[in-house]
Structure 1
Amino acid sequence: MKIKQSIPLIFAVTLTSLSTMAQTVFKVQPNQIKTEIQPTMWGVFFEDINMGADGGIYAELIKNRSFEFYKPLMGWTLEGKKVEGEMLVLNRGEANSSNPRFLRVLVNKEPKSMVNEGFRGMGIKAGLRYDFSFLYRQAKPGIKLQLELLNEKNEVIGKGEIIPTSVGDTWHKQEVSFNATATANKGKFRVTFSGEGTIDVDMISLFPSDTWKGRKGGLRADMVQLLADLKPGFVRFPGGCIVEGHDLSTRYQWKKTIGPVEGRELIVNRWNTEFAHRLTPDYYQTFGLGFYEYFQLAEDIGAQALPILNCGMACQFNTAEVVPLDQLEPYIQDALDLIEFANGDVNTAWGKVRAQMGHPKPFNLKVLGVGNENWGPQYIERLKLFTKAIKTKYPEIKLVNSGGTDPDGERFDYLNTELRKMNADIIDEHYYRKPEWFLQNAARYDNYPRNASKIFAGEYAAQTDKVVSVNNRNNLKGAISEAAFLTGLERNADVVIMASYAPLFAHIEGWQWTPDLIWVDNLQAYGTPNYFVQKLYSTNRGTHVVGLTSKNAKAAVGENGIYASTVIDKQSNELIIKVVNASDKEQKVTFDIDNAKGIQTQAKLTSLTSNSLDDVNSIDKPKQVFPKESTLAVKKKQIVHQLAPNSLSVIRVKLN
């Protein structure tokens, strides 16, 4: 079936011509429960795009630490006089197919130095401890490694040394730590081999000690903290288009991302050369951030894990490769094994693997995605096979199914019809559209079936210029349009049970796609206006949608540029009102609170706005667009609020 969309009669884009605004009066009915809001309502979606993992949240500072890039020494510069044969990259091939290459260093009398440039440089902090480790193999001792942190001027700002002592044909790991003496945003790392002899080295690694929860080899704490501050209901991972891969050989395979990091097989990131305007030939996936770490991250921040798996289809925008149906079984088995990895007892095959990695307790996986943004009959026929196998063995697992690439059109209509025939648990709808689209579609879900397949707004972001434009910006205009749209998702929480902005992270010097929720450089991270919209919704989620009416039935979905939704939090016994003014005029709005006994006389107000729709946050001005808190009086069960132009307001008031 094709779902009809209810579209407001008057849009915010027409409001600039209005010179005066009548007061809007709403009746709020906190005792009129409309529907429950799922704990998963507001979440986050992580994909390794824009250097989100390597060079981003994964805190490793060394680029190409195991010499597995297409160019084995990419990221490394050999210093001094180069003598043929004194530094060789060897390839073990099938003897170690997951990590075939290593570096052999022959040292005579002259020291041999090599410098790693990091991921657009290395963020180095004065006084912080840095943990170095490497794998090595040598026939006899005789070589010392001098380790140096360098600033932008190649001045040494931290140093240590390590003397490998073990000998023999097997590989050994050795570690040492040392402190930085100064700060650098674009530092480098030098390792110098001195003495006499031959040594094989691999997995040359350097981590800051201030990782999330202090875990060695862990995640960047400031980036994780921004996620934790959102209090997300779920974390969707690992993508996104990297699930599919440019072709099936570069698809994401979760089993290759677990176990010891030196055994995780590196692959090229599918965003490596996707966009001609942002070619990134040094963009690879080491999978130091793998499926175990994803589950652990979700658990750390109190969110459900939502893994997405390949369904036997490569990206349809690229090669559109598919696995023949009679060869799909290994893909289906991967899904079944993942559920066992997440939930299985320690006596099961994959539950034992999880326990050996340090987590005997199950991760309590509840939801699993089959395919990402796939479409057409080829998707449906593969999805049916996955669904039958998973539901037979794990009927309690809810499945997320792809609604395609767009919120309307032939692809969407076909998938929507077929998925509803299958009684799909959850349909994943994506919308990358201009801000006006979000304003015009705040009522999108008002007429969706209430007792059928649920909706996951899995990827959305207002495109201030156009999709895949380098000129898209995370400005106030986009953020306010999203805030208006989210009132419609919240109002229809019986239909929409999950939502997440996309993409999540972007490095200011390593991005392929914009806009993005959180931007970082090598030392700092900041939230965009869009981030603060997400935070205001997720930290003011509430437990139930309640009644909101006015004389004009359209008042909450764009009349005069006003969009509103109301919820209660039964745990804190608070009424929470979210109201957006998407016009360029200040407007007065009154909320009459019906049947509320003992309502407090003061409400907490949090407002997000700025002086211009073009305003953005930045490394230099991370809080140019930032929520501000104040109070509002509650008189005779009424809250009167003067809405600033282009603003989101969240009002919280205690009930009896």
Structure 2
Amino acid sequence: MKVSLTIPLTVASVVALAAAAPNSLVNSRRATSVDLTVARQTSSKVDFGVTAFIENNINSGSDGGLYAELIKSRALQSEGDGLTNSWTGNNADISVITSDAISNVLPRSLRIAKKGSPSSFGVRNVGWAGIAAKPGKYSLTLSARCNAATSTTATAGLYDAQRKALGSAQVPLALTNSWKEFKATIQVAGGNNVASNQFGLDFPGNFASEQCQFNLISLFPETFKGTTARQDLAQLLADLKPKYWRVIGGNALEGNNLASRFQWQQAIGPLKNRPGRAGTWIDWDTDGYGLDEAHRLGEAVGAKAIPGVFAGYTLNQQSVPDDQLQPYIDSAVNELHYLLDPQGSSTWAKQREANGHAAPYNLAAVQVGNEDWISEAAIKTYQTRYPRFANAIKAAFPNLLVMSSSPYPTPKTQLAAIDQHDYNTPNFFLGAYDRYDTWARNATTIWNLEMAVTNSGKCGETPQIDALSGPCRLTYPIQLGAVAEFTAMMGMERNSDVVKTFAYAPLLNKIGNGLSQWHPDLISFDAVDSWPSASYWAQYAFGQYGIDSLYKITSSVAYKPVYWSAGKQGNLDVIKLSNSGADPVTVTVKADGAQYNPNAAGSLILSAHNDAYASNTPENRQNIKPTRRNTSAKDFVNGAFRITLPAYSLAAVKLARA
């Protein structure tokens, strides 16, 4: 994701797009009505679904985002001394000390010394660009020690900009010269809907705090289904009904250098044993959203995991020498033992159980590395790195699908699965509607684990322009982009023997100065709120309207600008439609040899906007909001379903045959 480069799997797709006139697929004008007939029986099984890919660190999407921790720099890991832009004193001087550390990997702790003779003193934390104080329970934990045994009662709370307490709790502290953990619950009754709140920890004026030190001061709101995830963001992801869950992957897996790569053994277990690492994209990655946290959240939303394993390449274009690679291979295999070994069957399985997850996780595949086409150095060494990792994994887990992060340079006939990444224009994705119809069936499956319309295409098409660093790069997803992505997914779903998934990337975008590094993104958020993009509704429609088997369709006209697909989910027919054109088109769908029942329970989603380049922005968050409703008798004519697709629209409907 870090380079402005897209390498497609075939030269033919590049040539075809280069030959197309700009916006040729978008502006195709055909009939103002389309008649579709859905076959009597399904023709094939479908194995396709949405993937949710949460890349750690990018756009403040994990720390300060999906990972619900409200305290920034809880272990003083962030930004230089760990205090800057995080902690301030309240009638107190604060400093960092490195003696008597809580653990070998967290050397810093916080010292609080009162100034003068205040009645109370303490510290404040501003959170990750603010703290929302919403009604509910907030779970506080903190660790502390003193040079000599002492006791006091601290007050922990959330305070608004006028220092009014929105909720607080008394925290009895019986302190010794050993580190101890303390817990409390802060109850917020009314709260407020702003981000200008702070967390406070205060002590009575007679407490000799300068003899003490504090660390891992942590505050979590109520989270999603008992995970560590922020409720609103996790719910938006769950509503996509993702089939797959990509963790931990992307550039955050590789790191900018060897020291900052993802090291799974340092991202499990108690927080005091997690050193974190320099962020690939921003500041510091605490690895609080670590291996177990990521996999547990995937379980909570009902998805199968696709973990990535570090494969010996980092983003400074350095590869681990071949004669030094074996420890990294062993680490990757051990990571999979930790994730997959049956309960109690191995040292790693017992470690997983000790960390709170007795049963093995459910994996769909494992990916070796990430974007190992990203540089000549990566390509050159991947031809030796990939087989060594893949062979070791297959020897230990013969039934686990092993996925290559690059189609180069290994012949595709030797690869069971390939991760393909495409960031491009609407035309590119509209062209994917039939791209896979004639794709070679050579036992290699394609997993599109990073996809997005990143460029409007108004400045030209690839390869004449760079869809990432060239002109007309998007800030937020546009309606036409959502239609194009939805259309591409229809073509992929129709060819699910070859193409298994589509993952929009990145998923999360925190609004604020310097908080986000990549755009466009599926979901935007701040400390208080979150809102879906136009592209979110394309993913949502596909997840909510998934199919188990595919129908063939006959049509009265050729596709463009209207596209379609049909399948079956349980006992219901699922019809998906899109219109990439500037004019409305009426579509009539009938079932061959049957009628659709106008009185049966059916549902519809329709997302449209008359401006192809419209977006949901922080200033206009609901600019694009789909219609979601049940079908009614007025949607049917003589046993056929009829809908007028507005300009730049996508739709999905569930219908029952009579």
Q: TM-score band, normalised by the shorter chain?
A: 0.7 to 0.9
Match of 1:443 in 2: 434
Maintained 8 Å contact 2:157/2:186: no
Match of 2:326 in 1: 329
Maintained 8 Å contact 2:367/2:402: yes
Equivalenced residues, count: 613
Match of 2:214 in 1: 201
- Determine the C-alpha separation between the residues in 2 that align with 1:16 and 1:37: 28
Q: Structure 1 stretches (4+) deviating beyond 6 angstroms?
A: 8-12, 15-20
**Aligned AA (1:306):** I
Match of 1:247 in 2: 257
Distance 1:325 1:641, change over 3 A: same
- Determine the C-alpha separation between the residues in 2 that align with 1:66 and 1:94: 11
Q: CA deviation at 1:443?
A: 2.0
Q: Provide the alpha-carbon RMSD of the alignment.
A: 2.7
Deviates more, 1:609-618 or 1:46-55: 609-618
2:533 to 517, 528, 534: 528
**Aligned AA (1:308):** G
Maintained 8 Å contact 2:50/2:243: yes
Alignment of 1:108-147 (within 5 A): 109-110=117-118, 111-125=120-134, 127-138=135-146, 139-147=148-156
1:155 to 150, 160, 164: 164
User: Structure 1 residue 104 and structure 2 residue 108: aligned?
Assistant: no
Q: CA deviation at 1:75?
A: 3.1
Q: CA deviation at 1:162?
A: 2.3
- Determine the C-alpha separation between the residues in 2 that align with 1:18 and 1:500: 27
Match of 2:350 in 1: 352
- Determine the C-alpha separation between the residues in 2 that align with 1:95 and 1:190: 22
Distance 1:11 1:30, change over 3 A: farther
Q: CA deviation at 1:550?
A: 3.4
TM-score if structure 2 supplies the norm length? 0.87
Maintained 8 Å contact 1:148/1:190: yes
2:545 match: secondary structure: coil
Q: CA deviation at 1:256?
A: 0.9
- Determine the C-alpha separation between the residues in 1 that align with 2:488 and 2:220: 41
Deviates more, 1:462-471 or 1:289-298: 462-471
- Determine the C-alpha separation between the residues in 1 that align with 2:582 and 2:125: 51
Match of 1:594 in 2: 592
- Determine the C-alpha separation between the residues in 2 that align with 1:191 and 1:258: 28
**Aligned AA (2:235):** Q
Alignment of 1:24-39 (within 5 A): 24-33=34-43, 35-38=44-47
Match of 2:273 in 1: 263
The Cα offsets for residues 444-491 of structure 1, whole Å up to 9 and x where unpaired, read as 212212242001011011113542687522221221121122121112
- Determine the C-alpha separation between the residues in 2 that align with 1:20 and 1:586: 11
1:74 match: secondary structure: coil
Match of 1:585 in 2: 583
- Determine the C-alpha separation between the residues in 2 that align with 1:381 and 1:30: 50
1:475 to 478, 493, 515: 478
- Determine the C-alpha separation between the residues in 2 that align with 1:343 and 1:20: 52
- Determine the C-alpha separation between the residues in 1 that align with 2:334 and 2:248: 17
Q: CA deviation at 1:172?
A: 0.3
Match of 1:547 in 2: 552
Q: CA deviation at 1:534?
A: 0.4
2:197 match: secondary structure: strand
Q: CA deviation at 1:619?
A: 5.5
- Determine the C-alpha separation between the residues in 1 that align with 2:98 and 2:551: 64
2:369 to 368, 371, 374: 371
User: Structure 1 residue 211 and structure 2 residue 216: aligned?
Assistant: no
2:385 match: secondary structure: helix
1:537 to 542, 546, 552: 542
Maintained 8 Å contact 2:524/2:531: yes
Maintained 8 Å contact 1:608/1:649: yes
Match of 2:615 in 1: 616
Maintained 8 Å contact 2:90/2:124: no
Maintained 8 Å contact 1:548/1:566: yes
Maintained 8 Å contact 2:25/2:427: no
Distance 1:36 1:117, change over 3 A: same
Maintained 8 Å contact 1:579/1:649: yes
Match of 1:278 in 2: none
1:394 to 390, 397, 401: 397
2:64 to 42, 55, 58: 55
- Determine the C-alpha separation between the residues in 1 that align with 2:132 and 2:249: 26
1:389 match: secondary structure: helix
- Determine the C-alpha separation between the residues in 2 that align with 1:158 and 1:81: 20
Maintained 8 Å contact 2:96/2:108: yes
**Aligned AA (1:239):** G
- Determine the C-alpha separation between the residues in 2 that align with 1:16 and 1:167: 70
**Aligned AA (1:450):** R
Q: CA deviation at 1:159?
A: 2.8
The Cα offsets for residues 135-163 of structure 1, whole Å up to 9 and x where unpaired, read as 11121215443334222344333333323
Match of 2:464 in 1: none
Q: Percent identity?
A: 28
Q: CA deviation at 1:313?
A: 0.3
**Aligned AA (1:295):** H
**Aligned AA (2:60):** M
Maintained 8 Å contact 1:592/1:637: yes
Q: CA deviation at 1:24?
A: 3.0
Distance 1:385 1:650, change over 3 A: same
The Cα offsets for residues 234-287 of structure 1, whole Å up to 9 and x where unpaired, read as 110122111111111111111111101121112121102xxxxxxxxxx32112
- Determine the C-alpha separation between the residues in 1 that align with 2:573 and 2:30: 30
**Aligned AA (1:320):** Q
User: Structure 1 residue 420 and structure 2 residue 421: aligned?
Assistant: no
Maintained 8 Å contact 2:42/2:568: no
2:314 match: secondary structure: coil
The Cα offsets for residues 207-238 of structure 1, whole Å up to 9 and x where unpaired, read as 22x211255xx221111111111111011012
Match of 1:312 in 2: 312
Distance 1:625 1:211, change over 3 A: same
**Aligned AA (2:412):** R
Q: CA deviation at 1:610?
A: 2.1
User: Structure 1 residue 505 and structure 2 residue 508: aligned?
Assistant: yes
User: Structure 1 residue 46 and structure 2 residue 54: aligned?
Assistant: yes
Distance 1:366 1:20, change over 3 A: closer
**Aligned AA (1:289):** Y
Distance 1:145 1:590, change over 3 A: same
Q: CA deviation at 1:592?
A: 4.2
- Determine the C-alpha separation between the residues in 2 that align with 1:196 and 1:421: 70
- Determine the C-alpha separation between the residues in 2 that align with 1:18 and 1:295: 44
Match of 2:625 in 1: 626
Deviates more, 1:433-442 or 1:623-632: 623-632
- Determine the C-alpha separation between the residues in 2 that align with 1:262 and 1:18: 59
Distance 1:545 1:389, change over 3 A: same
Q: CA deviation at 1:618?
A: 4.5
The Cα offsets for residues 564-601 of structure 1, whole Å up to 9 and x where unpaired, read as 112122x2x222111111000111333343244x6424
- Determine the C-alpha separation between the residues in 2 that align with 1:463 and 1:43: 18
Maintained 8 Å contact 1:605/1:652: yes
TM-score if structure 1 supplies the norm length? 0.87
2:259 match: secondary structure: helix
Maintained 8 Å contact 2:241/2:301: yes
User: Structure 1 residue 172 and structure 2 residue 180: aligned?
Assistant: yes
1:341 match: secondary structure: helix
User: Structure 1 residue 72 and structure 2 residue 77: aligned?
Assistant: no
- Determine the C-alpha separation between the residues in 2 that align with 1:480 and 1:78: 48
1:456 match: secondary structure: strand
Distance 1:378 1:30, change over 3 A: farther
Deviates more, 1:377-386 or 1:627-636: 627-636
Match of 1:275 in 2: none
The Cα offsets for residues 477-519 of structure 1, whole Å up to 9 and x where unpaired, read as 2211211221211121111012211111111112211111111
The Cα offsets for residues 178-205 of structure 1, whole Å up to 9 and x where unpaired, read as 2235313221122234324311111111
Match of 2:337 in 1: 340
- Determine the C-alpha separation between the residues in 2 that align with 1:98 and 1:473: 39
